[in-house]
Chain A
Amino acid sequence: MAAWLQDVEDLTLKGQINVPYTWSVGEVGSRFLVALRDEEKILGNRCPSCNTVYVPPRKNCGSCFKDIDDNQWAELGPEGVVTAFTIVRYDYPLQPAKAPFAYAIIKLDGADVGFVHLIRQGLEKLRNGVRVKALFKEERTGHILDIDSFVLLEA
């Protein structure tokens, strides 16, 4: 081994890239977000081929690979059932809430697929099968987090 290797200081350099984006939501997703924002309504749509009711709504069904046409919209929820969840115990800046909080998969009334969202309160009572209801924010901007979280309904 060369002598210089004994003493060399391994340097690292700090860096960060900050790249802003403007993502297109698309007409179908936009209608969903506008309904959240303006009417506090959760919209889904039904694949005419396999009858799966999707939420958020889709322009086409990935499984059938068929377009979902214009007249298949349905209002869903705002209540539903928790089908699976995890309670997060560590804090991290990129997470949408301070720990403890839950990420949950919620089967909204009328939907066939899960809706992924947050539960902040009543974590000690959180179980698969409990009923929850969407809590909308006062100020809404057309964003998935216009729903603040889901709250547990009393049994």
Chain B
Amino acid sequence: MARRVAIVGAGQTHHKSHRLDVNGREMINEAVMRALADSEITITDIDAIIIGNMDHFESINYVDTWSVEGSGGVMKPIMKVTTGGTTGTSVAIAAYYHVASGLFDRVLAIGWEKNSESDTTAAIVTCSDPVWDRFSYSGAIPSLATEASAYMEQYGATQEDAARVAVRDRTHALNNPYAQMYNRPITIQDVMESSMLAYPIKLLDVCPRTDGACAVVFAAEGIAEKMIPRPAWIKSTAVRHTTTWFGDVDYDTGMLSLQRAAREAYEKAGIKNPAEDFDVAELYLPYSYAGLKWIEALGFCGPGEGPAFVGEGNTDMGGIIPMNPSGGVISTNCIGATALLRVAEAAIQIMGKGEKRQVPDVKTALATGFGGCWWSDVVILTGDKP
């Protein structure tokens, strides 16, 4: 039987488009020092480190070793885990597995990216199969744009419906001084007037490119309770990868990997009615249309009901299920850190450390990760020890 595990602290950088004042190692160190301070421990208390980022983004392929001065990994067990967009939830889940196994008591998970150092598209096309899809369907935007246009056609959703999601996340970022888009709210008109990249995706429908890092401390039961007053316990996690062939995806059945991951995680956690059972959700929504379609896969509303559910304000601060109090991925996207930020922000909500972005009385929180060809991770946290 696995040990119970809790998050006992989190740290993140103040995310920016360009952090030219620090190199990657130094940027990682900022997040690590903040996570250690938040957990009221030092690096000597950490038994192992899991670190991850996007392959090819900074042109450093042995990140685990290269980063030790920044991560604190000198003479410690450290390994790299990288799974594309889901890297952040993968390092979190791997850290959880490490502690749950009983072999390590306190494990540090780190996600980071210096997006300013790379040609993001050139790096991201290397996730497509080199013989097949790379030449006829490359980069992040085509697959997302195709999904969005298929969703609009299926359910009659509009570009304005999607813009509402971007406006929500950018409005929430007003409360998060760490967000890249802190204090830069937008309107639906701004989104509609921004330049068309690939129909129906416009510039303000998509996430920015960000330099940033995040670090989270995981601790075992018996230790976590003594470290902080209200640890954020891992209630359940689930991981689903579907196909690697973009042509094999059936868009009309919804976001399949997220449906399956959610089903498993909800069953293990006893979640029956997500909109009521969760108090807050930090979702990996890299573009606005995901905030309509993917919340259906998560069971917050039925198929095709995303636009109305969001439009009625249910997902705003003060709504029945506030989504992305941090401002979400549309406000900050340091890719290797992005999914770990979802877990960190969900934990911050449980621990009650959200300051201006805090949702009142959070007992159960949902975090998700998204990657590559429609992969999904789901993490459920709770304030009550499971």
A residues whose Cβ falls under 8 Å from a Cβ of B:
10, 12, 15, 17, 21, 23, 25, 29, 54-56, 62, 83-90, 92, 94-96, 103-105, 113-118, 128, 143-145
B85 within 8 A of A: no
**Is there an interface contact between B146 and A103, defined as CB atoms closer than 8 Å?**
yes
- Is the beta-carbon distance between A62 and B243 smaller than 8 angstroms? yes
CA distance A69 to B150 in the complex (A): 34
B176 CB–A CB distance under 8 Å: no
Binding site for A on B (CB under 8 A): 20-21, 59, 121-122, 125, 130-133, 135-139, 141-142, 145-150, 153, 195-201, 243, 245-249, 251
With both beta carbons as reference points, the residue of chain A lying nearest to B56 in the complex is identified as: A17
CB pair A117–B139 under 8 Å, yes or no, is no
Whole-angstrom distance between the alpha carbons of A21 and B200 in the complex?
A: 35
Q: How far is the CA of A69 from the CA of B247 in the complex (A)?
A: 22
- Hey, which chain A residues are within 8 Å of B195, CB to CB? 89-90
User: Can you name the residue of chain B whose Cβ is closest to the Cβ of A103?
Assistant: B142
Asked if residues B142 and A105 are in contact (CB atoms below 8 Å), the reply is no
Once A15-B59, A114-B249 are accepted as A-B contacts, the answer to whether A96 and B138 lie under 8 Å apart by CB is yes
**Binding site secondary structure of chain A:** loop
B130, B139, B142, B198 interface centre (most CB from chain A within 10 Å): B198
A sample of 11 cross-chain residue pairs with beta-carbon separation below 8 angstroms, ordered by A number, consists of A84-B149, A86-B146, A87-B199, A88-B197, A94-B122, A96-B136, A103-B146, A113-B248, A116-B246, A128-B150, A145-B135
Partner of A84, one of B150, B200, B243: B150
Interface pair A23/B198, CB less than 8 Å apart: no
Residues of chain B within 8 A of A128, CB atoms compared: 150, 153
Contact of A143 among B135, B137, B251 (CB under 8 A): B135
CB neighbours (8 Å) of B249 from chain A are 114
Question: In the bound complex, what is the Cα–Cα distance between A96 and B133 (angstroms)?
Answer: 11
Q: Which residues of B contact A89 (CB under 8 A)?
A: 195-199
Complex contact A10–B138 (CB within 8 A): no
Q: Which 8 pairs between the two chains have the least Cβ-Cβ distance?
A: A86-B145, A114-B247, A10-B20, A116-B137, A84-B150, A103-B142, A88-B198, A86-B198
Query: How long is the Cα–Cα vector from A128 to B153 in the complex, in angstroms?
Result: 8
A151 to B198, CA, bound (A): 19
Q: A115 contacts which chain B residues (CB < 8 A)?
A: 247
Please tell me which one of the listed residues A56, A84, A90, A96 contacts residue B198 in the complex, with CB atoms under 8 A apart.
A90
Contacts of A23 on B, CB cut-off 8 Å?
A: 130-131
Cα–Cα distance between A95 and B59 once the two chains are bound (Å): 21
Having A85-B146, A88-B142, A113-B248, one finds 11 other A-B pairs with CB under 8 Å, namely A10-B21, A25-B131, A86-B199, A87-B199, A89-B195, A90-B198, A95-B138, A95-B139, A116-B137, A144-B132, A144-B136
CB distance from A152 to the nearest CB of B (A): 17
Residue of A25, A103, A143 ringed by the most chain B CB atoms within 10 A: A103
Distance from B115 Cβ to chain A, minimum over Cβ atoms (Å): 13
- Collect the chain A residues with CB atoms within 8 Å of residue B251's CB: 83-84, 105
